[in-house]
Structure 1
Amino acid sequence: MSDEHRPPRILAIHAHPDDVEIQCAGTLALLKEQGCHITIATMTAGDCGSAEMGPEEIARVRRGEAQAAADLLGADYMCLEFRDFCIIIDHEGRRKTTEAVRRARPDIVLTAPPVDYMSDHEMTSRLVRDACFMAPAPNYSTEQWDPAPPIDAIPHLYYTDSVEGIDWFGNNIPPDFIVDISRTIELKQEMLACHASQRNWLLRQHGIDEYLESSRRWSAARGQQAGVAYGEGFRQHSGHPYPGDNRLLELLNSSS
């Protein structure tokens, strides 16, 4: 099949294991139905995500949980092996993130929002934006062992919702559009349930219980705004020189 007629390749890359599941797994499931190749990537393995296990032990657990969630979707999984709270915008961070984009070879990238409640999310957003820009540049070297070749063009780039859809001051961040995930909400919840280590951590660290139900409630809130049962919100990065046509929404609408 020629590149012109093949289903798009999708990269969903966020900071930690479970971020993708919370923010865009329902949309990924719809894309998988379209025959898209899906790669889920996390910047870290979540090494600070436990009060009982040490960093290496919880990182092993969380890599396994992320892989199990990706397996439910039939997606590839990769971890870039940053450490929690050590995602930094520097030369090394750009090289690692650009290499990940080149290896995934995406047509469409979904990533963290520019403004969110924690630095790891915001730094991920910046690094992925830069990586999408540099991934096609043949003279930009990632300096990795056996590096992937440059991709053909800057991919379409989209940001997921921030947590609770708000900025640092509690102001709403409206999405550009909301994807109807009503028929994939149960798979989204099954994927999130793979991250069993995080329920107790969030209860202790953030005072959040009902790990799965809080995700369902937020999906229902976004869905209500679009007049559907469940939804996921996105904003597109359409400034120069990123693609401005909404390929994600066009692709999803073509299946309805």
Structure 2
Amino acid sequence: MVHSTESADRKVALALMAHPDDAEITCAGTLIRMVESGWEVHIASVTAGDCGALTGSPAEVSAIRIAEGTGAAESVGMKFHCLGQPDGRVVYDRETLQETIDLFRQIAPTLVITMPMSDYHADHEITGQLGRAASFVYAAPNASQLPLVDGSAVPHLYYCDGHSGEDRLGNPVEPTTCIEITEQLDRKTKMLSCHASQRDWLKAHNRIDEYLSAMRDYGTQRGGQCGVEAAEVFVQHRGHGHPNDDVLAKMFPLKT
């Protein structure tokens, strides 16, 4: 396994999310900024979101949602991937972890954003566990049968914001990192609008009617807390073995 300093010239980011629209809700503004700064950016969804519809078979819903995720990512120069695990039933087991490691092995990210390990949705929490584990081990030669990409290393790791800025018990998330997305908010909104299948579903199941405006309102709420117009916030993983310099904050310092 190589050290992070050996991969400093590689700029490859991966957002490992649970569902096809999670990145657009939580971190797409930051990802857009990374594309603008010359990064190769990937969005990966652990599930195809096959439970996120009122009608249609799992296969039909999956096809729709994968197409929406692909369209959203490609509209801003990113790549979309889906592991195809069952929506609402993501588990942390050896098979799912190996699939995640194999995805990391192919992409070889130098920066990873994944989901908080305490959030309202269990799929989000388990995705966070998968992201943490795969980040740490994917560059070990024996972790996968896939070849190692030159420069593979333990990446910078961040957890995105919890729903409404809270953990699973309603306690506030305390961010380590705040990224302004004022200039990216409209493009983030257009990305989220690609997920047209979700409006009726969220209105019926989650009692969220204004899908796009709710995202924008929360972005401006977080922005106000950070002293800017709109923002996304993160918690950096700084445990042993991971880089602990806040590379996102260094790339995109707040201009208040």
Bin the TM-score by the shorter chain.
Answer: over 0.9
The 5 Å alignment of 1:54-93 reads 54-93=57-96
Question: Which residue, out of 115, 136, 141, partners 2:139?
Answer: 136
Corresponding residue number in structure 2 for 1:23 = 26
Instruction: Classify the secondary structure of the residue corresponding to 1:41.
Output: strand
User: What number of residue pairs does the alignment pair up?
Assistant: 250
Contact 2:49–2:87 under 8 Å retained in 1: yes
Gapped runs of 5+ residues in structure 2?
A: 1-5
Query: For 1:89-238, what aligned pairs fall within 5 Å after superposition?
Result: 89-141=92-144, 147-149=146-148, 152-238=152-238
SS in 2 for 1:169: coil
> Offset at 1:7?
5.6
Q: Offset at 1:76?
A: 0.9
Identical counterparts, % of pairs: 40
Kept in 2, the 8 Å contact 1:108–1:248? The answer is no
Deviation at residue 148 of structure 1 after TM alignment: 4.1
Deviation for aligned residue 1:86: 2.5
Aligned to 1:43: 46
> Normalized against structure 1, the TM-score is what?
0.93
Is the contact made by 2:179 and 2:253 (CA closer than 8 Å) also made in structure 1? no
Q: 2: CA distance between counterparts of 1:4 and 1:254?
A: 26
Question: Deviation above 3 Å: which 4+ runs of structure 1?
Answer: 3-7, 253-256
User: For structure 1, which segment, 46-55 or 211-220, has the greater mean C-alpha deviation from structure 2 after superposition?
Assistant: 46-55
User: Which whole-Å deviations, capped at 9, do the CAs of 1:162-214 have from their partners, x for residues lacking one?
Assistant: 11111222221121121000010000000000000000000010111000000
Q: Is the 8 A contact 2:17 2:44 kept in 1?
A: yes
Q: What is the RMSD computed on CA atoms of the aligned residues?
A: 1.8
The Cα offsets for residues 112-143 of structure 1, whole Å up to 9 and x where unpaired, read as 0111001100000001100011101112235x
Q: Which runs of 5 or more residues in structure 1 are unaligned?
A: none
Secondary structure in 1 aligned to 2:112?
strand
Displacement of 1:149: 2.2
Q: Secondary structure at the match of 2:183?
A: coil
Equivalent pair of 2:20/2:65 in contact (CA under 8 Å): yes
Letter in 1 for 2:93: D
- Specify the alignment match of 2:243 in structure 1: 243
